[in-house]
Amino acid sequence: MTRVTVVLPVRDGMPLLPMTVESLQAQTYRDFDVLISDDHSTDGTAAYLATLRDERFRVIRPTSPVGLVEAHRYAVAASSSELVAITGQDDISEPDRLARQVSFLDSAPSVSLVGCWCSMIDSAGRRVGALRYAVTPAEIRSRIVRNTHVPLPAMLFRRAAYDAIGGFTEECDYAFDYDLVERFARVLAVANVPEELVRVRYNPIGASITGTRRVQRGALRVRWRALRGGGHAMTEYVWLLKPLIGLLLPAAVVRRITVPYMREAHRGGG
């Protein structure tokens, strides 16, 4: 059994999926396998996956299409390694991503979930910004009302800890990753490697637009739960406004402002 399983949920991942796979094959850390969960793709994904000859890669499929959140739950549940990493079907892991994150967990036994900083790239692979969140467990815990701090495709966690807090759930819908990080930060410890180890692909016509309201509704629930749990300054309540505004604005306005907002908010790190 390998020490790390990289979970890769996919649905209609072509033509970018091969680049994601190649980035995993190029990892300098070797004690890992990859579990690709194909949620009944209708493009060329299944045909591409059938060509993989790397024994470290295993393909599974649920009995019927399950959707975004359950696809992640299903894939993690099928893993059996001590550590589980998540990656997205169009995101790219730098060659030393796993090595740096595993080394961090080995040096910090109190940390159960580790992420990293990320660069943001567009559909052509051009850098358009960076995601640089808080680093230490104390910083992340104190600022968790503001943001998830660990993007989904940058996660690497201890499987036993994931199971102990209930794993991914449908409770907060498309903010299921934020929900998981908040629960980890509340009862365990979360940290980030302060290096850009993942290239996150920002697709303005994908889920970042069409799922905006579902994300904001879920994020509002996560933030409210965190604030009700106590330990946060009263000034943190202002962060409820971000998802509230997103929910109150007309859909056409949200679509118009989301792309420029995301580009400006994450322009740093260049």
Rounded to an integer, what distance in angstroms lies between the CA atom of residue 162 and that of residue 85?
11
Strand partners, 92: 199
Supply the pLDDT for residue 49: 97
Rounded to two decimals, the pTM is 0.91
Identify the pLDDT of residue 184: 97
Q: What is the CATH number of domain 4-203?
A: 3.90.550.10
pLDDT at 269: 43
Distances (CA, A) of 166 to 18, 56, 131, 169: 32, 27, 27, 7
Residue in the structure block whose two tokens are 């290239």: 199
Q: In what helix (H) or strand (E) does residue 102 lie, and over which residues does it extend? A: helix 97-107
pLDDT at site 144: 96
Cβ atoms of residues 201 and 20 within 8 Å: no
| pLDDT in 10s for each residue of the chain, 270 residues | 899 999 999 999 999 999 999 999 999 999 999 999 999 999 999 999 999 999 999 999 999 999 899 999 999 999 999 999 999 999 999 999 999 999 999 999 999 999 999 999 988 899 988 999 999 999 999 999 999 999 999 999 999 999 999 999 999 999 999 999 999 999 999 999 999 999 999 865 554 445 778 888 999 999 999 999 888 989 999 999 888 877 877 766 666 665 555 555 555 443
Beta-strand runs (E) in 78-187: 83-86, 92-93, 113-121, 127-131, 156-158
pLDDT of residue 113: 98
Return the residue matching tokens 């995993």: 24
Domain limits, the chain: 4-203
pLDDT of residue 246: 74
Q: What are phi and psi for residue 62, nearest 5 degrees?
A: -65, 160
